[in-house]
Structure 1
Amino acid sequence: MRPLLEQMVLRRAFRLPAPVGRPGDGAAVVRQLDSALLSVGFTLSGELRRHLAALDPGVLEPVAGRTLATVRELVGDHVRHNVYFKDFPAGVPDTVEFWHRCLTEALAGDRSRPGVLAQLRDGVLNLLSLPSYGTYRHTYEEMAAAHDELIAAAGDRITVIHLGGRLEEELSALYLSLAASPVPLGEDGLEDLRLLAGRCSRGPQPEAIPVRENRAVINAVRAAAGEELLLDTVTDVLRVACALSGASVTLQEPVRFRSLRRPLRRALLAGLDRVVADSPAKLADVHRHRERWKRLGERLHPHEHPRWPHAAEVFAVARGERKAPTFESRVERLLADGDATGAAGLLASAPGRLYRALDRLVLAAGGEAEREAVLDAAVRVAPEVSGRVLLSVREHLENRTGRPGGRRVFLNRSGRAWATADTRPAMPRETRERLAALADAELRRRLPQTGTVVVDPAVLDVALPLSGKDVSPGLGVLPRGSTSAVDGELLRFFTYWRQTERRTDHDLAALLLDEDYRTLTWLDWTALTAVGGAHSGDVTDAPEGASEFIDLRLASLEAKFVVPMVHVYSGEDFGQVAESFFGFMLRDAAQAGAPFEPRTVRMKSELRGPGRVALPLVFAHDGHGGWYARWMHVHLKGHPEANQAAGHRVSAGMLVRGVIERRSLTVRHLTGLLADNGVTVVPWDGGTAPDGPVTFVGLARPEGLHPEARVITPENLRDLVPA
């Protein structure tokens, strides 16, 4: 278990919990480790190097092995990346020429010829069925031998691994950070929290657990230990039951409830009874998940426990035996009657819902008096609204300018996206500005009013993470809407997948769009070459894993936007394969090397989501000779089979337009509010470690910081969001 927990800390904080053991001379092992780490774009901090060098080699060797394995997986170097065209990016043929070659080889082979001739006689030839198409024609070793060693460049990525405290200290700090997160965590974060909650249940606990999914994970541990559950809605109980059944606490997936031990059943029923007894109106929440409540009732047997009559009412509502008007239906009735004032008054009892409904309430107001009533309600409840909702509303208002021709992007909780024209009536400018000022004032009130904040300018355009579900785990991944500079001459995308049970074909593609978001051309298996770019070749079967690459020389491109895409062409989708990830590399024009060189990788993320087309990010020309990346993290539903770039170019273009034109709330906005509060906010010079116990906000932790400095990087950017 210790190696697993050690790796968790390393993944999430780039800190190695201080190894303990026999003292000795470990300098040689440290030199070997640092050399191996440098080959994949990592290095040890000076402090960590000195600590490790004072330990016995026998203590160090297993730690070194685990550390190297962890960072190699982070960057995607734990697998072998072969390519179909051995000399890629050189030697990629014209597409028609390549298909002609495959056909010629098929007709020359005795076993394949009858099948190919039969297809030709029928007048339809399936190119993907040709014997030499889609499977590697050489070994990984043969491919590697065809490439020169990578030429080192000053721009190669170097990520520093720092010395952490004792393992228990690091785990406790990580547990408190995840448990107290003001924004929802992704599935990987919830799984880490589950492991940590069991380990840290007897140690320090967070003062508050604002996210209900986090609370459910911790409640499952508390229930197993016989401790009182932290509940204030009936849905909290449902989430705990899901956690105890090994299902997702997000309530977004089907669940099959397990038979629970009697103490657990009693704990859930007692918690339900307490919630409903304190607030009978909360029975209305049962309607949202009534089928799940019916299934859970079959496991809890509430009729056998007359001592908890209020718990039985929950299941009566689920079965339709008792009425419980929903909060939403009462609001809808008032709005249907044209009573925006009454709706705002009712919503004031649920401040978060009131703020989420502000746009609709303002537009529904029948006149100036009703609009003022809505604004007055917003002012009254502002102190009770969570910081995440305040920031979400503030971002929404930033995009309600009523620009003609605007687009709306819709995203569900799992990242599936679609875009459409924005046909909403414009929000009155004065009202929008008053609401934005109200949100900013409340945010300023909650932010620190003293101290020094040192900010790396490179992080200013990183979007605030209003949900951890927007970001897949990986290296160098930023929240949706973030902007980051692209400083290389050669841009190379890659994807890797390994099928589980059946033949699976994932395809890498790139759409090239003009300034009006119209398709100029694309690169994929149907178009292997284009101006300034090449595709490494299509692989259609991956029992041992397969990789595809796309190379683009940015100076040669006439496109305004480059959109990398990963399609599920056939077989298992992103959630079914054994492994699937995407990333990109940046190189200087003169750099040689193999198709995959880990220290040139700038970003690598797991491919997740329900759709069959993934759009991780878009690259855009800035109009001044440079390029930048805009992070998307979205999926298209796609077709059941045969997804291709050509078939999604219109929908992808609409999505890209919506994401590019949308204004995200960034670190720059929050640091501006801090400066308004009188906090000293200074830019980092990029080299010198700031003096004193400052708050440092940047893309990576610099060496030499004061021990009491607070550090905010993309790995814990959620900590910037006020409670």
Structure 2
Amino acid sequence: MAYRLESLVIRHTHRLPSPRGSAGEGAAAARQFDAALTSVGFKLSAELLERLSGLSEAAVVHTAKRTLRTVSEMVGDHVRHNAYFIDFPANVPDTEEFWMRCVAKALGDDASRENVLTQRAHGVLDLLSLPTYGRYQHTYEEMLAAQDELIASAGDRVTVLHLGRDLDDELTDLYLALAGSTTPLGEEHLRDLKTLAERCAPGPQPETIPIRENRAVVNEARLAVGADLLLDTVTDVLRLACALSGGDVTLQEPTRFRTLPRPVRRALLAGLDTVVAANPAKLADVHAHREPFKRLGERLHPHEYPRWPHAAEVFAVARGEKEARSFDSRAEKLLAERDVLGAVRLLRSAPGKLFRALDLLLRIAADQEGRDAVVAAAVQVAPEVSGRVVLSVREHFQNRERKTDEPRIFVNRRGRGWVTADVRPPVPAADRDRLITALDAEMRRRLPAPGRLLLDPEVLDVALPLSGRATAAGLGVLPRGSVAAVDGERLRFFVYWKQTEHRTDYDLSALLLRADYSTASWLSYTSLRAVGGEHSGDVTEASDGASEFIDLSLDRVRGAYIVPQVNIYAGEGFEEVEESFFGFMLRDGEQKGRPFEPRTVRMKSELRGAGRVALPLVFRREDDGRWRAKWLHLYLKGISYANRVEQNQVSVSKVVRALVEREYLTVRHLVDLMHGDTTAVDLWDGGPVPDEPVTYIGLERPEGLHPDSRVVTLENLRDLIPG
């Protein structure tokens, strides 16, 4: 358990909790530890190296083993990455040549010859029936022996591990940060919050827990230790019931409620009773989740507890036995009647709902008086709306300047994306601009004075993490819509998966698009070589784990966009396999090396989404010839069997176009709002940092920052979003 908690801190903060052990002469062991970290693209900060050097050799070795295990998992080096073609990317054959080679070997094999001849007689040949197709023909050790050593480069990734505080202090700080987050967390972070809450529930708590999913996870832990529950809506109780049943606290997926112990049933019913007694209008919230409430009532048996009559009303509403007119139905009726002034009067009492309806209100307003009333109401209630919603609406209206015939993309909370034509009438430009100006003023008012601001220029084009579900778990992963420079001569994608039970075949592919998003070519198991690139070969099962790679020479690639994708050809989905992740590496010139070299990994993200086609990011060639990556974090539905790049190229190009051309709010936007005439702004170039406290915003924490500095990096970028 201690390793798991320590690993959790390292993953989230890139800090190693202050190592413990007896004092001694650990300098030599610490230097060896630092050298071992270098092989996977990490290093110790000077402060951490000094701390380790003062411990005994045994304590340093103990710390090193645990830390190396964690960082290897972070970068994807905890598994063996083999390639079908043993000396990939060299000597990759043409596709048809390779297939004919497999057929020839099958015809030379007594066990498979008859089957192949029968298939050929019918004019169809199943590649999977060929004994040498899709299965490694060499061991991992033989592949390593066939590869040259990696030549170190100044461009290799180096991630610094810093010295943290004691483990208990680090865990408390991380718990407070995750529980009190102003933006929704991704699935992995929610799981980590659950682990932390189980340990930290009796201790210090955040002032507020604004995100309902976080509150459900915390309430589960508080219930276990007998602490008061944090409930102010009936839906809070439903989410808690889902958490107790191991279900989806976001309420996006149905939960199969478990049989709950009597004390737990009493706690849930008492919570419902208190919420409704304090505000009977909260019964209207039941309508949004009637079916889950009905199923929950079957588990809670409210008729057995007459002392909580208001709890029983909740389930009566769910069953349709009691009327509770919902706020949403009243608002929908006014909007359907195009009664803008009436809708505005009603929605003022629900600022978040008003903000989400602003676009529709401005479109259906019959005259300028109505639009003025909409903007005035938005300005009036803006201070009561969460910063995340204010910024989301700001981003929405920023994109309403686009032409209406451009594609409109939708992405649900599980990353599933789809595109449709934008048929909405435009929002009047003057009203849109007034609203944007007002929203910026509200954000400027909320943002803290940063004092001296130290900026890493590379963070400026990172999209604001308005939802944790717009970012996959992993290393070097940026929120959806973020843009980053790609510095390197060779770009290499990789995917790894390990099936749980059934034969599972994932196919790594890359679609190359022209500037108009039409298809130029692709790389996949059906096209092993294309201009500028090679595919490592098709692996069709992964009982012991499997990897595929695509290597591209960027100066030879034809086209304006490179779209890597992972297609599920057969077997288990991304959320069913034991493990699956995607990433990319960058190499200079002739660095050579194994197919997978951890120190060259720039990004590694988990594949956990609802769909059969994963689109992690897209690479775009700029006018100056340089390449930049834009994060997508998308999953397409695909088909149940045999997804291939050739079949989905049209749908992929549509969603890529929609996301590439969408403008996202970035860190640059908040920085522009944050600094004024009294704020000194310095760009950090990798050199020495100021001696005084600063607010540092960057991709990674520099060494030597004053201990009183406020530090915002990728790991806690959500802290930039005001409440």
Could you say which TM-score interval applies, normalised by the shorter chain? over 0.9
Establish whether residue 184 from structure 1 lines up as the match of residue 200 from structure 2.
Answer: no
Q: What amino acid maps onto 1:463 in structure 2?
A: A
Of 252-261 and 149-158, the range deviating more from structure 2: 252-261
> Which deviations, in whole Å up to 9, do the C-alpha atoms of 1:443-495 show, x marking residues without a partner?
11111135122110000000000011111111000000000000000000000
1:220-259 matched pairs, under 5 angstroms: 220-259=220-259
1:165-564 matched pairs, under 5 angstroms: 165-403=165-403, 405-449=405-449, 451-564=451-564
- Aligned counterpart, 2:682: 682
Distance 1:48 1:675 in 2: 33
> Which deviations, in whole Å up to 9, do the C-alpha atoms of 1:323-353 show, x marking residues without a partner?
2222221111111212011112111111111
> Which deviations, in whole Å up to 9, do the C-alpha atoms of 1:550-569 show, x marking residues without a partner?
01000001210000000000
CA distance 1:81–1:450, change in 2 (3 Å): closer
Distance 1:421 1:256 in 2: 37
Distance 2:151 2:302 in 1: 69
> Which deviations, in whole Å up to 9, do the C-alpha atoms of 1:129-187 show, x marking residues without a partner?
21110000001111111111100011000000000001111111101110110000011
In the alignment, is the contact (CA less than 8 A) between 1:539 and 1:547 conserved in 2? yes
Secondary structure of 2:397's aligned partner: helix
- Aligned counterpart, 1:38: 38
> Which deviations, in whole Å up to 9, do the C-alpha atoms of 1:538-586 show, x marking residues without a partner?
0001110000000100000121000000000000110111110000000
Q: What amino acid maps onto 1:260 in structure 2?
A: L
In the alignment, is the contact (CA less than 8 A) between 1:613 and 1:643 conserved in 2? yes
Distance 1:201 1:405 in 2: 51
Distance 1:267 1:697 in 2: 43
CA shift, 1:263, in A, is: 2.4
Distance 2:601 2:402 in 1: 40
Distance 1:69 1:87 in 2: 28
Distance 1:639 1:164 in 2: 47
| Unpaired runs of at least 5, structure 1 | none
Distance 1:4 1:662 in 2: 39
- Aligned counterpart, 1:642: 642
Secondary structure of 2:591's aligned partner: coil
CA shift, 1:674, in A, is: 0.6
In the alignment, is the contact (CA less than 8 A) between 1:22 and 1:56 conserved in 2? yes
- Aligned counterpart, 1:114: 114
Q: What amino acid maps onto 2:284 in structure 1?
A: A
Of 217-226 and 551-560, the range deviating more from structure 2: 217-226
Distance 1:677 1:277 in 2: 51
Distance 1:606 1:678 in 2: 42
In the alignment, is the contact (CA less than 8 A) between 2:348 and 2:377 conserved in 1? yes
> Which deviations, in whole Å up to 9, do the C-alpha atoms of 1:70-116 show, x marking residues without a partner?
00011010011100101100010011111111111111111100111
Distance 2:679 2:190 in 1: 34
In the alignment, is the contact (CA less than 8 A) between 2:202 and 2:222 conserved in 1? no
Q: What amino acid maps onto 2:303 in structure 1?
A: H
1:40-119 matched pairs, under 5 angstroms: 40-119=40-119
> Which deviations, in whole Å up to 9, do the C-alpha atoms of 1:43-94 show, x marking residues without a partner?
0011101101111122222211110010001101001110010110001001
Secondary structure of 2:555's aligned partner: helix
Root-mean-square deviation (CA, aligned residues, Å) is 1.1
Distance 2:226 2:687 in 1: 51
Of 289-298 and 497-506, the range deviating more from structure 2: 289-298
TM-score, normalising length: structure 2: 0.99
Distance 2:337 2:153 in 1: 68
Distance 1:387 1:678 in 2: 24
Distance 2:2 2:137 in 1: 42
- Aligned counterpart, 1:580: 580
Secondary structure of 2:590's aligned partner: coil
CA distance 1:532–1:476, change in 2 (3 Å): same
- Aligned counterpart, 1:609: 609
- Aligned counterpart, 2:625: 625
Distance 1:496 1:597 in 2: 14
1:670-709 matched pairs, under 5 angstroms: 670-676=670-676, 678-709=678-709
Secondary structure of 2:246's aligned partner: coil
Distance 1:641 1:31 in 2: 51
CA shift, 1:594, in A, is: 0.7
- Aligned counterpart, 2:12: 12
Distance 2:402 2:489 in 1: 38
Distance 1:649 1:202 in 2: 53
In the alignment, is the contact (CA less than 8 A) between 1:671 and 1:681 conserved in 2? no
> Which deviations, in whole Å up to 9, do the C-alpha atoms of 1:336-379 show, x marking residues without a partner?
21201111211111111110110001101111111111112112
In the alignment, is the contact (CA less than 8 A) between 2:461 and 2:667 conserved in 1? yes
TM-score, normalising length: structure 1: 0.99
Q: What amino acid maps onto 2:617 in structure 1?
A: L
CA distance 1:344–1:29, change in 2 (3 Å): same
Distance 2:521 2:11 in 1: 38
CA distance 1:449–1:673, change in 2 (3 Å): same
